[in-house]
Structure 1
Amino acid sequence: MEEAFYAEARLYDLMFPGGGASVEFYRAQAAGSGGRVLELGCGTGHKLIPIAADGSSCVGLDLSASMLAEARRKADEHGVVLEWVQGDMTAFDLGRTFDLVVIAANSLLHLLEADDLVSCLASVRRHLAPGGRLVLDVFNPSVRMLAEADGVRRNRESLSFTDPDLGRVRVEVAETYDALAQVTRGTWHLSTDTDPAVVVAPLELRSIFPQELPLLLELGGLRLVSRYGDWSGTPFDGASPLQLCVCEPR
């Protein structure tokens, strides 16, 4: 269902330019890991290309051919060599192990069913080398924000951007929240003054609440070692916007 959302990889990069503290956090994790890094849901390589530029041996896996094509283009542009694999993070077999597996930028939340989450985590477990770790980040669900997802189309000014060809692109989103499924169902509208429908795409994301995350990890053969609430390493609490988790085999 998310294929249309990620089909315009160049526009995605303009809307979500990446960089900053999150990249530096994952670069530091990779530097201390031993060198072999796998990122699931790697997208256009926001985090993996800088990690590879630091000297790590990197593999990026993503379901979207469009996102991987943009990742390859960017890696070539920067003179960085990586391996890119089109595949499903719920069940993959790369025939090797890694010192660090990364699932960044809410990528895990594309897995809407608990069985798929556990299958993904179990696949990660099989791909971890001795002493290897999984590091992931997902948002900490805000009950208030979920309750405000009423289906009304609203402007996301902070995500609007300027494209060299299209000019200023507005971003508007209409979302509803399915509390039983723990899934936010949205429609994203990208438009310009001359084109009201540059992109109209559905996007569904699951919420993973803090108390259930350790249980999902355990079912996948992993355990939570540390959980932070931001990129500076502040201990996680209920008000933290982020669940930044370091995990290892149990």
Structure 2
Amino acid sequence: MDEPFYADAALYDRLFPGREESIGFYRAEADRQGGSVLELGAGTGQKLVPIAADGHAATGLELSPAMLAGARRRAADAGVEVTWVEGDMRAVDLGRTFDLVVIAANSLLHLHEVDDLVRCLRSVRRHLAPGGRLALDVFNPSVHLLARADGVRRRRDALTFTDPDRGVVHVDVAETYDAAAQVTRGTWFLSTDVEPDFLVVPLELRSVFPQELPVLLALAGLRLVDRFGDWSRGPFTAASPIQLCVCETDRAAAGG
């Protein structure tokens, strides 16, 4: 994980405030499954706290202490109980199972090696109750965008936000793509008009291609049940911006 990127939970929430439609999707999945929910890479609890507020027993695992502190504050502000655990999604062992496991907001893509991805997904399988499901989202890699990752610093106007202390914050990103590793290596620059580059942090995310994902799941004893291309459950196509997946235990693998 790129620790400096997640060292300021409040700043992260302003940069990535969470989309209502994504929160709504995971709340609906929790309601559909019923029972308990585990989120791996829970961040500041943007999705898990509303799920807990809906009455689900909720547990959140997060590696970053700063993000975990932000999640605790969010839950306290909402007046809901969530069990928070500091830990690595590759090696989690909570000693119990859950009806729904969530890996949201590209959290899976912080794992760059195939072995790490499979270890994480096998942890998911161990934590799924009978009939339980995994719901996750990762972006759908665009070869055109990856080819344009040339290391040039560019402004991301869509990410501009207002900080109560600093004012308007602009975001620039310079990225290169390591095709052999399938990893985009970026540097993010946050600036105001009076304080240029007040924060410069790395962010590296793996690409998981559509034909690769079912193989990774199969190696972990899971299978893909549904794959949507948007938060309204539209069909997944080559042009879809995300891979929004619902998975379950592969019974054949479980019995083998």
TM category, shorter:
over 0.9
Q: Which residue of 2 aligns with 1:83?
A: 83
Q: Which residue of 2 aligns with 1:61?
A: 61
Separation in structure 1 between the aligned mates of residue 195 and residue 21 of structure 2, nearest angstrom: 34
Q: Which residue of 2 aligns with 1:215?
A: 215
SS at match of 2:91: coil
Shift of 1:191: 1.1
Q: Which residue of 1 aligns with 2:253?
A: none
Separation in structure 2 between the aligned mates of residue 90 and residue 108 of structure 1, nearest angstrom: 10
SS at match of 1:205: strand
Separation in structure 2 between the aligned mates of residue 29 and residue 219 of structure 1, nearest angstrom: 24
Q: Which residue of 2 aligns with 1:125?
A: 125
Q: Which residue of 1 aligns with 2:42?
A: 42
| 2:231 aligned with 1:231 | yes
Q: Which residue of 2 aligns with 1:30?
A: 30
Residues 136 and 246, structure 1, Cα contact 8 Å, conserved in 2: yes
Any gaps of 5 or more consecutive residues in structure 1?
Answer: none
Structure-1-length-normalised TM-score: 0.98
SS at match of 1:94: coil
Shift of 1:194: 2.2
SS at match of 1:32: helix
SS at match of 1:17: coil
Residue identity matched to 1:22: S
Residues 62 and 86, structure 1, Cα contact 8 Å, conserved in 2: yes
- Percent identity, aligned pairs only, is 70
Q: Which residue of 2 aligns with 1:174?
A: 174
Separation in structure 2 between the aligned mates of residue 36 and residue 133 of structure 1, nearest angstrom: 11
Separation in structure 2 between the aligned mates of residue 23 and residue 119 of structure 1, nearest angstrom: 26
| 2:221 aligned with 1:246 | no
SS at match of 2:137: strand
SS at match of 2:174: strand
Separation in structure 2 between the aligned mates of residue 15 and residue 229 of structure 1, nearest angstrom: 23
Shift of 1:9: 1.0
SS at match of 2:112: coil
Q: Which residue of 1 aligns with 2:254?
A: none
Structure-2-length-normalised TM-score: 0.96
Q: Which residue of 1 aligns with 2:10?
A: 10
Shift of 1:238: 1.3
Any gaps of 5 or more consecutive residues in structure 2?
Answer: 251-256
Structure 2 matches for 1:91-102, cutoff 5 A?
A: 91-102=91-102
SS at match of 2:33: coil
Q: Which residue of 2 aligns with 1:204?
A: 204
SS at match of 1:225: strand
Residue identity matched to 1:73: R
Residues 156 and 171, structure 1, Cα contact 8 Å, conserved in 2: yes
Shift of 1:150: 0.4
Shift of 1:47: 0.5
Shift of 1:19: 3.3
SS at match of 2:73: helix
SS at match of 2:180: coil
Shift of 1:198: 2.0
Runs of 4+ in 1 over 2 A off after TM superposition: none
Separation in structure 2 between the aligned mates of residue 19 and residue 142 of structure 1, nearest angstrom: 21
